[in-house]
Structures are given as C-alpha cells and as structure tokens.
Amino acid sequence: MASVNPLSRELVFKIVYYGPGLGGKTTTLEYLHATAKPEYRGKLVSLATPVDRTLYFDFLPVRLPQLRGMNVRLQLFTVPGQVYFNATRKLVLTGADGIVFVSDSQAVRADANMESLENLRDNLAEQGRQLQQIPLVFQHNKRDLPDLLSLEDLDAMLNPFRASSLATSANTGLGIYEGLEEISAAVLRAFESRLPDAMGGGLGGFDAIEGGLVTALRDASPPPSASLEAVISRVAPPSRPWSTMPPNSTIGDPSEGEAGATAPPSREAAQRSAGGPRSAGVREPASRDIPSSLRLAARRLAASAEAPATARADGPSAATRHLAQPGLSFVALWPTAAREAVAEIEAAIAAERYAVAVARCDALVTGIFERAAELAGAREASRDPATVPALLGLEGRRYLGFRAAVRRAHAGGEVTERDALKAFAFVIDARLAESAI
C-alpha cells in the first residue's frame, strides 16, 4: 500500500502492469524509460530470458512533479505473463496501489486476455482484495497491428465495471503516457478518499501542473509516433536484462536521473574485470604472500589497471601489489553500527575460517535485503531471488551461488577460500547497491 514519509513530504505508490504474455507490459516500461525526462526516471531493471520474455518482473521508478509541496514517486512493476510463474505474479501484486491491465487487442488473443484477467481476480482474492475496489486502468495494446478487436468489444469482454480504458501501442508510444496519467490520478484519488476530512482538499489533480502530467514527464525530443527501437536509439541506451547486468548495477534514485549510470562494459572489459580469459591448463598461481582478506582487493585493483593481459593472468601487477598491505579493509563502506560485523568477516577469512565468514556474510546480506524489501513493499520476500536482489541490480545467478555457499556453511559442508571471497564480494556489491538507492 501507499508509503507516506511526513518528514520528507513524500508519497510512494506501487503500480503493477498485469496482462497476458507478450501483451506489451515490458515494452510499455521500456518506452516510458526511453522517453521520460531524465530528472523524472530511474533505472529500468528487467529480468528476462534469452528470448526477451519477462522471467520474473520489470521495475521502473518514476518521480512525478510536486503536488502542493508533496513529492510523489511511482514504483512501476510488470508481472510475467506465463502461467508457470504465477507465484511471482502474486508476490509482485502484493501491496499494489493501482493496476494497469495490458490487454492484447489481436482477435486471436481474446482467450489469453480472459485467462489473465481471471488469474488477476483469483490472485487478488487470495490477498482479500477485489478488482473493482482497486484503482484500475485498461490499456488495450497493439492498436498498430491488423486484425484487431474493437475497443467496444474489448471493454465488453474485460471491463464490465467500466474502469478507464484507452487504446495504446507500446511500440509507437500511442496512449502510454496517457495511461500512466490515468492510473496515477486514480491512485491519488483513492489515497485522498482515505484521508481524514480535517486534512482539507488533499493533493488535487494534475491540472495544477503546467501542460498536465504527460507534458511534464515526456521528453519532447523523440516524435511520439516513432517506433520503440528508433526512440531508444535516439534518446537512451537500450535497457539490459537483469540476468546480463553487471554485478555493480544499481537502481538509481529518479531524482538523480541517469547521471549515475555508466555505459555497459564491452566484452573485453568484462573479461578484464573477471581477470582475463584463461586457457585450459593455465593454473592460477598461489599468492600466499598476500593475506587472504586482502586478496580480493588486490585482484580488483589489478583487473581495473591498464596492464598487459599476461600480467593480469599472473596475478596482481607490480603497479598494484604494493596496495595489498595489512590494514586494507572494506569496513568504511558500512555505517558505524555494521563495521564490527564486516571486520569479523575479514578476520575470519584471514584466519581461514571460511564457513564462519560466509555465515557472517549471510547476516549482513539479510539486513541489506530487509531494508530494500521494506522500501519496495515486499517484507515477506527478502530472500526471494526474483525480487529484492533485482531491485538492487544484483545478478540473479550470483545470488543463487551465494545462497548455495551459505547453505553449505550452515550444514557443516566444505566451504573453500574461493567461496568465502565470492560471498564477501557479493556482500560488498549489495552494500554499494543499497547505498545508491
């Protein structure tokens, strides 16, 4: 439900785009991300399969212009269209303040629309909610294609309680911002209806914003009828699936725009950051002269240095080896209350107590995820690899590997030095991501 921070005078609403698979939910968020003004958009996080179908969800934070001195932020989510991922649909739907049902206007997709709407009703019923009691907008998508059902037929089929509906094309942008404005206004009205009468007239609508919400949010540089590919190529770099995002990618605050974003690394840069490609039969030499707790820092410094590939393959270069001295620590990345726990991890790795180090890493990650989950309204899913790790921009496969090491540590299984170092690296990336939210 809506989150209110009276000190910062900020409202946060969660809006979920629901609908059948391949209906245009992800494309809708991609268009909004590519065409919104940088000062109002955050970073788009998308977890997709190799064929670009949403596997878990997409997430896009949007900041609206101020309303009567109040800051309003929207958290836009999509759900996977495939029935196989219904558990994830339920999770993403939890705490939604508004829903945009993205129907597929093609006649052959009528049954898929009906099945998805019925699934939405069932999932809401399990949470004790009814569809007609939630702010709702129908986005009848793909109006740029042939062989379509009429808007009247789609409304008769899907919208018996006459919620707002409009024709859209996520590929060209037709109606996308108007749909966002409709659901934002409906969410605000629902929120104001719950306020005590003593609080006065509430926030009002978007009429006070010069030109309306659509004009305020949309960057005027791309033509509104341009295809999504053309818009993305002119306005913003294409969004990258979560499964291929670099480990240190984060979801920036929309107020920061894209200033904190960095260009995706090239394949060569990715190989450098991983220590360079290694041919079969080449053994990584031991570096016992460097304390275990400092080896990770030395490797990262060596990877970022512009040194020859041969030097990287042989370990830290001469230019960076002197930095790996006793006393180097990562505790400064954490607030004071958590620094003792970080120091314990580094001490455990140095003492070769790798299982203890991994267990301490688990405690730190749990705290980070719980704080991020609270911001996203998903308190019961702080360890679900489909939710909070993605909100922080962390790679799903790394998180699953981290959880496997934690299970071995708690079960008394073998935990190697490599396991401990990788776990600590994951903790550091999680902390950096948390500090950027």
- pLDDT at 142 > cutoff 60: yes
Q: Max Cα separation, the chain? A: 76
Asked if residue 16 and residue 162 are part of one domain, the reply reads: yes
Alpha carbon of 90 to those of 210, 236, 246, 297, 416: distances in Å? 38, 31, 28, 41, 37
pLDDT of residue 53: 61
pLDDT of residue 9: 77
| Domains identified in the chain, total number | 2
pLDDT (mean) for 187-212: 67
Residue 254 per-residue DSSP state? G
Q: How confident is the model at residue 310 (pLDDT cuts 50, 70, 90)?
A: very low
In a domain, 229, yes or no: yes
Alpha carbon of 192 to those of 184, 185, 305: distances in Å? 12, 11, 55
Direct distance between the N- and C-terminal alpha carbons of the chain, in angstroms, rounded to an integer? 20
Question: For position 65, which CATH number holds?
Answer: 3.40.50.300
In a domain, 283, yes or no: no
The phi, psi pair for 251, rounded to 5°, reads: -95, 110
Residue with tokens 């590919």: 229
Q: Provide the residue range defining the domain that includes 95.
A: 3-256
202 vs 107: which has the higher pLDDT: 107
Asked if residue 385 and residue 333 are part of one domain, the reply reads: yes
This prediction has a pTM of 0.56
Asked if residue 272 and residue 237 are part of one domain, the reply reads: no
Please state, rounded to an integer, the average pLDDT across all residues of the chain: 74
Asked if residue 176 and residue 100 are part of one domain, the reply reads: yes
Asked if residue 272 and residue 234 are part of one domain, the reply reads: no
- pLDDT at 354 > cutoff 60: yes
- CA gap 216, 226 in Å, rounded: 19
pLDDT (mean) for 217-233: 62
Alpha carbon of 355 to those of 407, 417, 422: distances in Å? 10, 9, 12
> Would the CA dihedral through 228, 232, 238, 239 be positive or negative?
negative
For residue 158, what are the contacts with CB-CB under 8 A and spacing of at least 6? 101, 103, 113, 114, 117, 138
pLDDT in tens, 153-169: 999 999 998 999 999 99
- pLDDT at 145 > cutoff 50: yes
- pLDDT at 119 > cutoff 50: yes
- CA gap 139, 11 in Å, rounded: 25
Q: Are 19 and 83 in contact (CB under 8 A)?
A: no
Asked if residue 181 and residue 317 are part of one domain, the reply reads: no
Asked if residue 272 and residue 242 are part of one domain, the reply reads: no
Asked if residue 422 and residue 345 are part of one domain, the reply reads: yes
Asked if residue 245 and residue 120 are part of one domain, the reply reads: yes
CA 168 to chain centre: 24
Q: Are 226 and 172 in contact (CB under 8 A)?
A: yes
Asked if residue 132 and residue 64 are part of one domain, the reply reads: yes
Q: Are 419 and 408 in contact (CB under 8 A)?
A: yes
pLDDT of residue 245: 40
pLDDT in tens, 379-426: 454 445 556 677 777 777 788 889 899 999 988 889 999 999 999 999
What tokens does 307 get?
A: 């040194």
In a domain, 284, yes or no: no
